[in-house]
Amino acid sequence: MSIICGVPLLECVYCLACARWAWKRCLHTAGHDSETWGLASAEEFEPVPRLCRYILAVYEDDLRNPLWEPSEGYGIDPDWLLLKRTYEDTRGRAPPYILYVDHRHADIVLAIRGLNLAKESDYQMLLDNKLGRKKFDGGYVHNGLLKAAELVLESECEILKELVEKYPKYTLTFTGHSLGSGVAAMLALIAVQNKDKLANIDRNRIRCYAIAPARCMSLNLAVRYADVINSVVLQASS
């Protein structure tokens, strides 16, 4: 132990370094990460409130008789809702989701609900990961979320392909909140890499809006897919 005037020098340096890190961490918010970013245009932000309502609609058992509908409604026409998958349908291997054809906005939307605090399978999905475990297109992704996305795409590939072919001018949008946002982001990656399974859809027709996104991919992938994946974070959130 190094001692100068009775003071353990190395221990003091270590404690000061830890205190500095803790101080900076406590004061750090998401605003620091994005303070140099440009503002989103009204056109870029336009889909976000609408897609948030679609995600909330996943929580309803019956959209024709909703129990928790917001004052402005979900903005969904039940006749355009093609399917709704529950935990029973996915056997807990993916969060519940809906597939909705939004004819008003020329958009095919797959919306995924967020983390269910009462579902053990959701926690298992999140914990199914290890740093550097799963490689994807030259980067790394979250293993559990990727497996969930693969299950969803495998289950709905045929109907998505039919819709993409039937509506060639419609966009294909994957969206979700929290846990669901991670699955949506993985779906976007897989869709871009497997366009042949989706009627060779153009990359510029594939979109993802990840609301309060889970950390699910390495920085190089986030940069390379920034034209497809849009992350929406409340500025004041840490």
pLDDT in tens, 97-115: 999 999 999 999 999 999 9
Q: What residues make up the domain containing 15?
A: 1-29
Does the pTM of the predicted model rise above 0.75? Answer: yes
* Residue 237 pLDDT exceeds 50: no
Judge whether 176 lies within some domain: yes
Are 226 and 143 part of one and the same domain?
yes
Q: How far apart are CA 109 and CA 174, in angstroms?
A: 6
Q: Does residue 238 form part of some domain?
A: no
Within a domain: 196: yes
Confidence category of residue 37, pLDDT binned at 50, 70, 90: low
pLDDT tens for 165-187 read 999 999 999 999 999 999 999 99
Percent of the chain at pLDDT > 70 equals 84
Q: Mark whether 201 and 143 lie in a shared domain.
A: yes
pLDDT at position 133, please?
Answer: 79
**119-151 residue pLDDT tens:** 999 999 999 998 777 899 999 999 999 999 999
Same domain as 108, residue 204? yes
Q: What is the pLDDT of residues 149-162, one digit of tens each?
A: 999 999 999 999 99
The verdict on 128 and 207 lying in the same domain is yes
Tell whether 34 is covered by a domain: no
Q: How many domains does the chain have?
A: 2
- Kindly state the percentage of the chain with pLDDT values over 90: 73
